[in-house]
Amino acid sequence: MTLRVLLVDDQALLRGAFSTLLNSSDDITVVGEAGDGTQAVALTRELRPDVIVMDIQMPGMDGLTATAEICADPDLRACRVLILTTYETDEYIAQALRAGASGFIGKGIDAQDLLNAVRTIADGDTLLSPTATRSLVARFLATPAQTQPPQSGQLAALTPREREMVALVATGMSNLEIADRMYLSPFTVRAHVQRAMTKLQARDRAQLVVIAYQTGLVSAAPERGAEQA
């Protein structure tokens, strides 16, 4: 299957470079380009791309606002947003995840990493740059400034094993890493994670991270301390 990508960046030169790179792959095609957030939202509704590669700093509606609008639209649930920016600050990363982005990476990544990032996001997984460490995610998603209060009752629908899987996802572990740790097959782990996503109405793994911290399933703690439920 060919992945359909929408590029969003206010710099035409960069859009051209990214378009050439992405179109060089047999399994990816760029179906549209936008120069600001307003155009991005309109083209997403028109083209229904699999992945939107979104810059943050743009004139008019910025990338974070556009991401929030796209991710809040039930009709665009299948469209996933990959934030690609030079501004890898803690607050931008947290805002992007809260807005519903499925990934956050810097423009300094190499060509192959960008191609792999698009594929990863399209597959429903979360992708964060090395800058977005577990302690960073924990610190900002668990701050009093979060837009919605924790609702631990959301977790009542999960089985104990599903809760365990969500907690491990929140530490940044991949399905394979969870499988190795729990002595399970990656297929079994994926099934548990997918069921948890369905029950919590999470569009992807990034939202599972948000829910895990907001409900208190895992807590803000430096480095490895965030792993415990």
Predicted confidence (pLDDT) per residue in 59-81, tens digit: 999 999 999 999 999 999 999 99
Both 89 and 160 in one domain: the answer is no
Both 103 and 50 in one domain: the answer is yes
Burial 195-204 (b: 16+ CB within 10 A, else e): bbbebbebbb
Both 127 and 172 in one domain: the answer is no
**Total count of domains within the chain:** 2
Both 35 and 119 in one domain: the answer is yes
Both 98 and 199 in one domain: the answer is no
Judged by average pLDDT, the poorest of 6-20, 82-96, 113-127, 154-168 is: 82-96
Would you state the pLDDT for residue 147? Answer: 46
Both 180 and 84 in one domain: the answer is no
Would you state the pLDDT for residue 92? Answer: 81
Q: pLDDT tens, 25-50?
A: 999 999 999 999 999 999 999 999 99
Both 167 and 213 in one domain: the answer is yes
pLDDT-based confidence at 227, cuts 50/70/90?
Answer: very low
Q: pLDDT tens, 170-179?
A: 877 778 889 9
Would you state the pLDDT for residue 222? Answer: 45
Of the two residues 45 and 132, the one the predictor is more confident about is 45
Question: Is the pTM above the cut of 0.95?
Answer: no
Would you state the pLDDT for residue 41? Answer: 97
